Amino acid sequence: MKSDIQIAQETQELPINEIAAKIDLADNDLEPYGYDKAKINWKAIQRSKENNHLGKLILVTSISPTPAGEGKSTITIGLGDAINNQLHKKTIIALREPSMGPVFGLKGGATGGGMAQIIPMEDINLHFTGDMHALTSAINTLAALVDNYLYQDNSLNLDPNRILLKRGIDVNDRSLRKVTIGEGSKFNGIEHQSSFAITVANELMAILCLANDINDLKKRIGNMLVGYTTDDQPVFVKQLGFQGAIAALLSNALKPNLVQTLEHTPALVHGGPFANIAHGANSVMATNLALHLSDYTLTEAGFGSDLGGQKFMDFVSKHLDKKPDASVVVATVRALKYQAEGSTEHLDEENLDALRNGFKNLERHMNNMRSYNVPVIVLINRFATDSENELELLKQLVEEQGIKAEIVNYHDAGSKGGIQAAQAVIDLANSEKASLKSTYEENDNVKTKIEKVAKNIYHASNVEYSDKAEEQIQELEKLNKDKLPVIIAKTQYSFTDDKKLLGAPNDFTLHVKGINLKNGAGFIVVTTGHVLDMPGLPKHPAALDIDVDDNGKISGLF
The per-residue pLDDT for 82 is 99
How many residues make up the chain in this entry? 558
The per-residue pLDDT for 13 is 96
Domains identified in the chain and CATH numbers: 4-14+40-125+255-429 (3.40.50.300), 131-250 (3.30.1510.10), 446-528 (3.10.410.10)
pLDDT of 207-247, one tens digit each?
999 999 999 999 999 999 999 999 999 999 999 999 999 99
State yes or no: pLDDT of 108 exceeds 80.
Answer: no
Residue 424: band (very low, low, confident or very high) from pLDDT cuts 50, 70, 90: very high
Say what the pTM is.
Answer: 0.96
pLDDT of 480-522, one tens digit each?
999 999 999 999 999 999 999 999 999 999 999 999 999 999 9
The per-residue pLDDT for 244 is 98
Residue 185: band (very low, low, confident or very high) from pLDDT cuts 50, 70, 90: confident
Mean pLDDT of 412-436: 97
Using alpha carbons, select from 54, 210, 221, 230 the residue that is nearest to residue 156: 230
Task: Provide the 8-state DSSP code for 445.
Answer: -
d(C-alpha 341, C-alpha 473), whole Å: 39
Kind plus residue range of the DSSP H or E element containing 488: strand 486-489
Q: Rounded to a whole number, what is the distance in angstroms from the first to the last CA of the chain?
A: 14
155 is in an annotated binding site: no
Mean pLDDT of 310-325: 97
CB 1 within 8 A of CB 70: no
Mean pLDDT of 47-57: 95
CB 167 within 8 A of CB 239: no
278 is in an annotated binding site: no
State yes or no: pLDDT of 274 exceeds 90.
Answer: no
pLDDT, mean over the chain: 96
Mean pLDDT of 174-202: 94
Q: Which residues are paired to 93 by β-bridges?
A: 267, 298
State yes or no: pLDDT of 276 exceeds 90.
Answer: no
Mean pLDDT of 410-436: 97
Residue 287: band (very low, low, confident or very high) from pLDDT cuts 50, 70, 90: very high
The per-residue pLDDT for 399 is 98
Q: Which residues are paired to 526 by β-bridges?
A: 488, 515
120 is in an annotated binding site: no
143 is in an annotated binding site: no
State yes or no: pLDDT of 45 exceeds 80.
Answer: yes
CA distance readout (Å), 56 to 219, 269, 305, 321: 30, 18, 20, 11
State yes or no: pLDDT of 256 exceeds 90.
Answer: yes
Residue 391: band (very low, low, confident or very high) from pLDDT cuts 50, 70, 90: very high
72 is in an annotated binding site: yes
349 is in an annotated binding site: no
pLDDT of 223-233, one tens digit each?
999 999 999 99
